[in-house]
Amino acid sequence: MTAGRSEEVRQALDALAAAGDPLDALAAARRVREAAEALEIAAAAEVRREGGTWTEIGAVYDTSKQGGQQRFRHALASTEDDPEVARRRRRRRRA
């Protein structure tokens, strides 16, 4: 899932490097930011689907479990209700 998003970031960075004037560079920088944010959300979703905890996600950002939740909860709402995800999370906690 994150491989496709990584490619989007690379393409946006290439466009930024090739920008011919400041306005093109600004538009390309916006695409870089948007692509990077989409990659970040996809990676967090993947962590959660694989049973990762909010504490682990928060630690990546040097914040608490609640900080991780606040950062991504809205974007990951659909994966949080998946019963298979809940089963993986319980298995991971027992391991």
Q: What is the pLDDT of residue 92?
A: 66
pLDDT reading at 90 higher than 70: no
Q: What is the pLDDT of residue 83?
A: 65
Q: What is the pLDDT of residue 68?
A: 94
DSSP 4-34: HHHHHHHHHHHHHHH--SHHHHHHHHHHHHH
Tell me the pLDDT band of 77, cut-offs 50, 70 and 90. Answer: confident
DSSP structure class, residue 81: T
The pTM of the full predicted model, rounded to 2 decimals, is 0.75
Output the furthest CA–CA distance in the chain (Å, rounded).
55
Q: What is the pLDDT of residue 95?
A: 65
Q: Tokens representing 77?
A: 């709402």
75 Cβ contact partners less than 8 Å away, ≥ 6 residues apart: 41, 44, 45
pLDDT reading at 7 higher than 70: yes
What pLDDT digit, counting tens, does each position of 19-73 carry?
999 999 999 999 999 999 999 999 999 999 898 999 999 999 999 999 999 999 8
Domain boundaries, the chain: 2-94
Cα 89 from chain centroid (whole Å) = 18
Closest by CA position to 42, among listed 12, 70, 78 = 78
